[in-house]
Amino acid sequence: MRNELILQKIIEYSENILHYCKDNTDKDSFMSNSLLIEACVFNLSQIGEIANKLDISFTEEHLDIPWNALYGLRNRIVHDYEGVN
């Protein structure tokens, strides 16, 4: 049950990002909107944060998902926010 709740939150954060970006068709329009960038970065960091709470047995069963990359992105955002590009 816990994994299901976490996965549902990951889906919600992902859907938020897709919703926010739906009208931005190119990199320049995205990069010129600081509010959009901050909203997406926040949701990406949340995904990384909660993905780290999934049971190890679950992540080991789903090795096709780059779990370490998700955790690493979260750490990069949180510890080096100014360096995120």
pLDDT at residue number 18 = 96
For the chain, the domains span: 2-83
Contact in structure between 78 and 45 (CB atoms under 8 Å): yes
Looking at the predicted structure, is the pLDDT value of residue 82 above 80? no
pLDDT in tens, 19-49: 999 988 788 989 999 999 999 999 999 999 9
Separation of alpha carbons 64 and 49, rounded Å: 19
Q: Under 8 Å CB-to-CB from 70, ≥6 apart: which residues?
A: 47, 48, 51, 52
The predicted model scores a pTM of 0.85
pLDDT for residue 81 is more than 70: no
Q: Are 77 and 41 in contact (CB under 8 A)?
A: yes
**Is there a contact between 19 and 36 (Cβ–Cβ < 8 Å)?**
no
